[in-house]
Amino acid sequence: MDKRIALVTGASRGLGRALAAGLAREGYDLILDARNAGDLHAAAAAIQAAGAAAAARARGGVTAIPGNVTDPAHRAALLGAVRVAGRLDLLVNNAGTLGASPLPALADYPVGELRAAFEVNVIAPIALTQLLLPLLRASGGAVLNITSDAAVEAYAGWGGYGAAKAGLEQASNVLAAEELAVRVWWADPGDLRTDMHQRAFPGEDISDRPDPETVVPAFLRLVTERLPSGRYRAAHLLPPAATGGQASRAAAGGQIHAVS
């Protein structure tokens, strides 16, 4: 069977939308999720209408399911859509939240907002992965968890978001050790020009950051080459000419860590 299905959360804008479009170009049928129904349906329609989704249209195309991944009923709806599709080859846990903005010091971080950040960035992707693992095992599929260098670096003000992403990274690390039939990748896209990144720097000009589309080839390499489970940085997966400003930011920042 050549039919391939990918589920991408947080797909209405930014990296999620760019990655969904890239997967469509690779011939994937898509199941997309985001909280804002209008934005999600607009993104799904754009992906479907573009030549990027030509291959996927023949197989069923793009399914948009608005909702919040922290809601068990919504996660059950996503599982239902996957069951209707008949298989799942790739789960992309991209949906996330920055947490409090402007970024507070940990000493001042509102505990309620910290709890919410963990709910979105750690609990929800683990819970969704749990639901979908039987289908991923059956297809020999993969889980791609979007993380951040804030998970491994001590940036002032990033304690809440960074701690949540660190939790997701360790959960991914353990999942990779446990699920030998499924690839598990946790990948840092680097600084990008997104709404979330703008919220981290309110009022500042972030136009020097690259667009999300620039790192899509890095994530597609993970998927198409089925690289070993592990932690990756987009800048290390891109050809040198494609990394642009990210190459210099990544130069001092560690190496690919993979486990078989």
Catalytic residues: 161
Residues 6+ apart with CB under 8 A from 64: 32, 33, 40, 41, 43, 44
Q: In this structure, how many other beta carbons lie within 10 angstroms of the beta carbon of residue 155?
A: 13
Residues 6+ apart with CB under 8 A from 41: 64, 66
Instruction: Find out whether 59 and 85 touch, Cβ atoms under 8 Å.
Output: no
For residue 211, give the nearest of 188, 187, 241, 190 by alpha carbon: 190
For residue 122, give the nearest of 146, 150, 155 by alpha carbon: 146
